[in-house]
Amino acid sequence: MEAERERAADGLVFEPVRTGEQIKEMTDLADEIWHEYFVTILSPDQIDYMVEKFQSAGAVKKQIADQGYQYYMLKLSGRLIGYTGIVEQPQEKRLFLSKLYLEKPFRGRGYASRTFEFLEELCRQKGLSAIWLTVNRFNDHTIRVYEKKGFVKVRTQAADIGNGYLMDDYIMEKHFS
């Protein structure tokens, strides 16, 4: 309830993504952010491939329908500013934070911190005591943000995502009570 009130206070809303229209709205933003942000870390071809494989409307629809994904759009007074995607893993008592992306003008303004409050509240409600995520090993700013929020690097992971592309990631996690 406390977190609910705080969110309402500054007009930031976490809107669950359910309909085809919402998926289209979110994946249009994903396409824009991934091409803008990853250009310094990944080749344009790899970004195209990853957006199609992970963040196209078809891919997201399947993730929600078959793979336990939940997506939320971050909206500020009705304006879409970012999104987050999660998977609850009750057997392991943890939450997988799969996606957290903010549109450029809205970075550095505390909205990721607000998202972590939202996710930790969700964890408390669901009896989950940790959040884990993967992050590209060269995504320096984001790694610093995660460390500031209490995440620690657990190990590295090189995942073959097909088409000759590897994802060179850290796995990070945060435990809380």
Q: Applying CB under 6 A, which residues contact ligand COA?
A: 37, 100-102, 107-113, 135, 139, 141-142, 144-145, 148-149
Measured from the CB of residue 97, what is the shortest distance to ligand COA in angstroms? 8
Q: C-beta of 153: minimal distance to ligand COA in Å?
A: 13
Q: By C-beta, is 7 or 149 nearer to ligand COA?
A: 149
Looking at the Cβ atoms of 19 and 54, the one nearer to ligand COA is 54
- Per-residue CA distances from 58 to 19, 20, 51, 54, 64 (Å): 12, 10, 11, 9, 10
Q: 41 and 139 in contact (C-beta within 8 Å)? A: yes
Q: Which two tokens stand for residue 10?
A: 């500054």
Rank residues 128 and 135 by Cβ distance to ligand COA and give the closer one: 135
90 vs 110, beta carbon nearer ligand COA: 110
* Backbone φ/ψ region at 29: left (φ over 0), alpha (ψ -120 to 50), beta: alpha
Nearest to 97 by CA among 125, 81, 76, 120: 120
Q: What distance in Å separates the CA atoms of residue 120 and residue 115, rounded to the nearest whole number?
A: 9
Residue 175 C-beta: closest distance to ligand COA, Å: 17
Shortest Å distance, C-beta 108 to ligand COA: 5
